Chain A
Amino acid sequence: MTAETRDTSRLIRAHGIAALVGLVVSALMGLAVSIKFHAPGFLNGAAALTWGRLRYDHTQGILYAWLGNAFLAFLYYAVPKLAGRGVRSARLGWILFWAWNAVAVLGGWSLVLAGVSQPLEWAEFPLGIAAAIEIAWVLVFLQFLRPLLKVGAGELYVAGWYLLGGGVFTALAYPVGNLAPRFLPGAMGASFSGLWIHDAVGLFITPFAVAIAYFVIPAVTRKPIYSHFYSMVGFWLLFLVYPLNGIHHYIFSSLPMSSQFASEIASLYQGLDVILVVANLLLSIPALGAALRDVPLRFVWTSVVLYLIVSLQGSVQAVMPVNRFLHYSDWVIGHSHLAMIGFASFAAMGGLAHVWERTPGLRMNRRMLGWAYWLMVAGLVGMVADLTMAGIAQGHLWRGPLPWIDSVRASRVYWVARTHVGSMLLLGFVAFGVSLLTGKVNEAAEERAVEEVEPQTGRAALWLNTAYAATFGAGLVFFVVSFTVLGILPAVRLHAEMVSAAPRGVVGLTAAEAHGREIYAREGCGYCHTEQVRNTRADIRRFGRPTSVWETSGEFPQIWGTRRIGPDLAREGLRRRADWQFVHLYNPRATVPDSVMPAYPGMFDGGVDRPGRDARDLLAYLTTLGRAAGMGAEPPEPAMPAAPELRGVDGAAEGKNIFLHNCSGCHGAAGDGKTAGGAALEPPAFDLTGAAMQDGLIWRALWHGVDGASMPAWHTLPAEQIRAVAAYTATLGQAGELREEERWAPDAVLGEAGRRVYVTHCSRCHGENGAADGKDAKKKMPYPANFHELRPSYALAARVIHEGVAGTAMQAWPLLTPAEIQAVTFYIRGFSTGAAR
């Protein structure tokens, strides 16, 4: 074995083992993330292991730790055979290895877990790590791509073109995706984020994966590919059209509609390109059955077939009618897993295994490799089918009137299934790793002399070289074009719109609000909650007016989000009170029993009523969401229908079920408000068992919510469900009667004494006749109780009068004696009309 071969073998082994470790670690993070969907308390003790941080590290790990290393291992074997000359040097190779793995991967993973990250899809590693990755790309260029450049344009085999293109365009696109959103706010930055989201897959992953296919297929079948010319046509189409797709991640957003239409056209055109590429590759495999006995080729063949499926799926889901229904749902997650596992990872595994079994000194267990293949196919089919069905269910529910939490409940079964099939995939990944670390050791192959390629001569060669070189130059020009057309031009147009359309008085974030935004970003909140109300009927009905372009003009980078597990938060500041937000942040299930949001008790100093700086600043940021929009008109609330008769209505059982799922988090399963979450609100959740309430009061509170309290409006529920839960609530309230042994005096005495107490202390707010129309009533929020609609029990009244009600104007009256409290309670109960039991 020559020294060069030995060095190459060591570098292949190093990158290969790093790839295997990266794959398993990233997959474990993904499994943890999946479990947290249906067990939100799983691994939630440490800030580093919360959902958002693991999610960031999962995707970046797949991209850099697994695929990056696998591709680099492949390059060490493939480039000498494509270029007819070796890579630059072993020393440079080891510098690249350590830069990639120690600095970029381990450094990036660690920093993200420590809370240092960016909320940009496929660019979650912090800027410092992004800089290290860009430097690593320069080393990749020097090590692998310079030898390819020395081959003439007309002589270079298509796999070499893909490697060249992938290396060059990724180096150009990567800084765009990382830096532009830092300097361009809101919608302007989103234009560039969209470019990178797609370029990461289309100009980094796809070229390397397709290069593997073009390499492995002829190498195993020992036959040339079907058409080299059409493979080049497919290559040019990929690099010229792919960058134009990016805005299809923001269909129905405030980005210019022309850009959105353009991205749809490009997406459909890209589908045609993939058909051409895949047809060429599949036609290159004669005697398919025999060929697929070679397991690495089987991986590659599967990758090619899934490349076609996922690309056509992507083309379809970019068009508006489909996008309106499916965007933000788990369908998109199924699509991305089909792409990254089915297409990219299967290609990487095929390439790595092909290289591995031809590298002296490495091992290969072919039986285990076969098992790994089938485990992964089964796991992948299961996962994609599961997420596709989940996406359809979510899209359907989001279009309807049911509360958002219903879509979370409906998704649970799919999320549990995903964990199971994800475990199967993880097993397949482990089996793949075992297959490369066990088995017979490869013997040193007979070393062939490296053959340099002499350039062709003649007019045809000149035309070919000129054509290819010109097209490559055109590719660079078109990258600049895509950057301009999809990034700069929309940004310029958006800036003009921002300036002209923004209302006066829109202010930027304070220091606390900006800090809160950083917390929102580092915890991955934007990966569950979007901050853009789209221009679709379903979004407008549920969330209000569509997000205008100027609303996020102070956001660097934008956190529009590309997935909704929780509801959109663009108008959250107009919806929820601070007390509710703190309780929800401390333990989401205290306010929304079926929520899967992680709890953040670490942001509090020992209790929900002691929010720390992080909690306070995060809340400060949340209250800015929609603040600018609040300066404009909100869509009107639907008119409340007349309160129906609630007594003796059928459906109490259904009403109880609705109550338990939607109300018990605050009001308690018994309706007595005795929950940690309910007690921490200001005002606390009402004790529904402590008073008899008129039907109108119950109906109004359910329909409109209660101003000044955390009781939300529930008019989004279907009318029959509101009626059912209102009827059930009406059965809870018990006003009770005064027992003789507790009575302090006869009725007449109680009444007169109570009247004097009431007139002295209560009438200014509650009104002379208890109708909540006192002189000070309108200044109080929430409004004082109207005793014509509410008849409190003696126990509830005693508690309220003695302790007051936090968060309201109802102060405590500690100087009133128990006798006086009884008397005034007797008096105010006399105001009610027919609510007493």
Chain B
Amino acid sequence: MIAAVIGVVTLLLVVLVVGRSVAPEFRRRSELPKYGFLARLGIGGEEARSKKPGAKEK
């Protein structure tokens, strides 16, 4: 049963990986959080701010 569980887990992740590789927009959006993180640290200037998910100042 454990082998089946690991198989299902692997399948789920393979679906995610394949989905990402065939969908450029999905691929772009999946990387956005790392730019958002840098922007919140004040790193990267306008480039980071343009790439991070939409933000507004409090």
Contact = CB atoms under 8 A, between A and B. Distances in A.
A228 B53 CA distance: 14
Contact of B27 (A84, A224, A229): A229
8 contacts: A152-B53, A155-B33, A159-B37, A224-B35, A229-B27, A241-B6, A451-B56, A478-B5
B30 A229 contact: yes
Nearest to A244: B2
A461 interface: yes
Given A81-B37, A456-B53, A478-B9, A219 B43 contact: yes
Interface in A421-478: 448-456, 458-461, 463-464, 467, 471, 474, 478
Contact of A460 (B13, B25, B57): B25
B56 A454 contact: yes
A450 B37 CA distance: 12
B58 A262 contact: no
B7 to A, nearest CB: 10
Interface string A219-234: 1001011011100110
A262 B44 CA distance: 46
B12 A456 contact: no
Interface in B6-58: 6, 9, 12-13, 16-17, 19-20, 23, 25-44, 53-58
Nearest to A227: B31
Nearest to A239: B9
Given A218-B34, A232-B30, A478-B5, A451 B43 contact: no
A463 B12 CA distance: 14
Given A222-B44, A478-B9, 16 more contacts: A81-B41, A157-B36, A158-B34, A224-B34, A233-B13, A244-B5, A261-B2, A266-B2, A454-B53, A455-B54, A460-B29, A464-B26, A464-B30, A471-B12, A471-B16, A485-B1
Nearest to A222: B43
Given A236-B13, A452-B55, A155 B32 contact: yes
A451 B58 contact: yes
A47 interface: no
Contacts of B57: 449, 451
B34 A225 contact: yes
A461 B53 CA distance: 10
B53 A485 contact: no
Contacts of A451: 39-40, 55-58
A227 B17 CA distance: 12
Interface residues of B, number: 39
Interface of A: 81-82, 84, 152, 154-159, 218-219, 222, 224-225, 227-229, 232-233, 236-237, 240-241, 244, 258-259, 261-263, 265-266, 269, 448-456, 458-461, 463-464, 467, 471, 474, 478, 481, 485-486, 489
A454 B38 contact: no
Contacts of A155: 32-33, 36, 53
Contacts, number: 136
Interface centre among A81, A261, A451 (most CB of B within 10 A): A451
A448 B55 CA distance: 14
B38 A82 contact: no
Chain A interface, >50% SS class? helix
Given A233-B16, A450-B58, A452-B56, A463 B1 contact: no
A3 to B, nearest CB: 16
Contact of B23 (A222, A460, A471, A474): A460
A157 B30 contact: no
A262 B1 CA distance: 8
A222 B38 contact: yes
Contacts of B16: 233, 467, 471
Interface centre among A228, A233, A489 (most CB of B within 10 A): A228
A156 B33 CA distance: 6
A219 B37 CA distance: 9
B37 to A, nearest CB: 4
A84 B55 CA distance: 9
B18 to A, nearest CB: 12
B33 A485 contact: no
B54 A456 contact: yes
B23 to A, nearest CB: 7
Given A265-B6, A463-B26, A157 B41 contact: no
A219 B3 CA distance: 39
A154 B42 CA distance: 21
A262 B37 CA distance: 38
Contact of A84 (B9, B25, B29, B40): B40
Interface centre among B19, B28, B30, B43 (most CB of A within 10 A): B30
Nearest to B33: A157
Closest 8 pairs between A and B when the two form their complex, measured CB to CB: A262-B2, A224-B34, A460-B25, A157-B37, A229-B30, A454-B54, A228-B34, A157-B33
